[in-house]
Structure 1
Amino acid sequence: MKKYLLFCLLLPLAWCNAAHAQRIFIGKRAPELRIATWLADSRPAPSPLTYIEFFHTSSPSGLASLERLRELTERYDGRLRVIVIAQESQESVGDRLAPYVSEHIGVGFDPSGQSYIAFGVEYVPFGVLTNARNRILWLGNTLQLTPELIESNL
């Protein structure tokens, strides 16, 4: 009986913790990005779909995800833009990210980490696909973003 009572008391607490950890949901508006500066002062052109990529050099698959995103922006010329958010300083990672800047890919720096917090980022590569109204269409590991998923949302 004591175990059952303890379970009943702890269950709502566990549920509240899980609900608090999840900050974003598919179908809801994405939080506003907190970008202090843009690499090369270059913002990507508006498009029907935006993919927000959270990047950190500590991730071994970070550059692989950027290569994949570059290929996708070329494939969907003008219909997909990518915003890469780096929490590291421009001085430390700017040279590494500069080859990815284009008309459809921009790199923004958020040294305070406010965008990471707002989106509840716990791992990288992590990304969020949004539509023109800033509604979340998909979220997850960037390497799992498929052309079929993009096409179904265009």
Structure 2
Amino acid sequence: MKKIMIIMAAILIWCGETNAQNIRLGEKIPEISVESVLGDQLRMIKQEYTCLIFMHSKCEPCVKALPDFHKIASPLGDKLAVVLLTNESRDMEEHLQREFGSYVTSIAFDRNKHTYRAFGINFVPFGVIYNTKSRRIEWFGSIQQLDNKQLQTICKPQK
């Protein structure tokens, strides 16, 4: 009986640890509820694709990843909007704009963590690229692992 309980506990712990994001490729993105200069629903984005980058300004991997991501994303500026999404307070806007504004289309604030929870974000930096019109997810994961070839493939012209 003791062995069964240990096995059951191990299975429950393992299942809890493998519970990742609440999103899947090809599915529509969850509701985005943020404050941004582009509005609550980011409706003003004109590019075909949007990349949400969940991050925090005190996160060293986030700070290091953004310039590298910018290098591969900037040539796609007419196709890809990049939105930093942070759960920091809105009074950080000036600092974030000064530090990261040249890398992104917009900075959005998820003060109540609604969007972080809806997407199931467990680590930062974390990126989600979706088709802006259909709102279907094209890619998600660590932006540090995304390279130029992958990004070009994701942002291919729609037929």
Q: Identify which range, 28-37 or 105-114, moves more after superposition.
A: 28-37
> 1:64: Cα distance to partner?
2.1
Partner in structure 2 of residue 109 of structure 1? 109
Three-state SS of the structure 1 residue aligned to 2:25 is coil
Q: Which residue identity does 2:95 align to in structure 1?
A: D
Partner in structure 1 of residue 53 of structure 2? 53
Three-state SS of the structure 2 residue aligned to 1:107 is strand
Q: CA RMSD in A?
A: 3.0
CA contact (8 A) 1:69 1:82 kept: no
Is 1:137 matched with 2:138?
yes
What are the superposed Cα offsets for residues 98-135 of structure 1, whole Å, 9 maximum, x if unpaired?
Answer: 35336961101111111111111111111111123211
Partner in structure 1 of residue 82 of structure 2? 82
Q: Identify which range, 45-54 or 19-28, moves more after superposition.
A: 19-28
Q: Identify which range, 81-90 or 17-26, moves more after superposition.
A: 17-26
Give the paired residue count: 151
Three-state SS of the structure 2 residue aligned to 1:52 is strand
Partners of 2:29 and 2:67 lie apart in 1 by: 24
What are the superposed Cα offsets for residues 40-76 of structure 1, whole Å, 9 maximum, x if unpaired?
Answer: xxx6742122111001123102122221333233211
Partners of 2:20 and 2:26 lie apart in 1 by: 18
What are the superposed Cα offsets for residues 17-56 of structure 1, whole Å, 9 maximum, x if unpaired?
Answer: 46865411112111121112338xxx67421221110011
Long gaps (5+) in structure 2: none
Long gaps (5+) in structure 1: none
Three-state SS of the structure 2 residue aligned to 1:151 is helix
Three-state SS of the structure 2 residue aligned to 1:124 is coil
Instruction: Report sequence identity in percent.
Output: 25
Partners of 1:136 and 1:3 lie apart in 2 by: 44
TM-score by length of 1: 0.78
Change (3 A) 1:20 1:74: closer
CA contact (8 A) 2:54 2:124 kept: yes
Partners of 1:62 and 1:22 lie apart in 2 by: 18
Q: Which residue identity does 1:96 align to in structure 2?
A: L
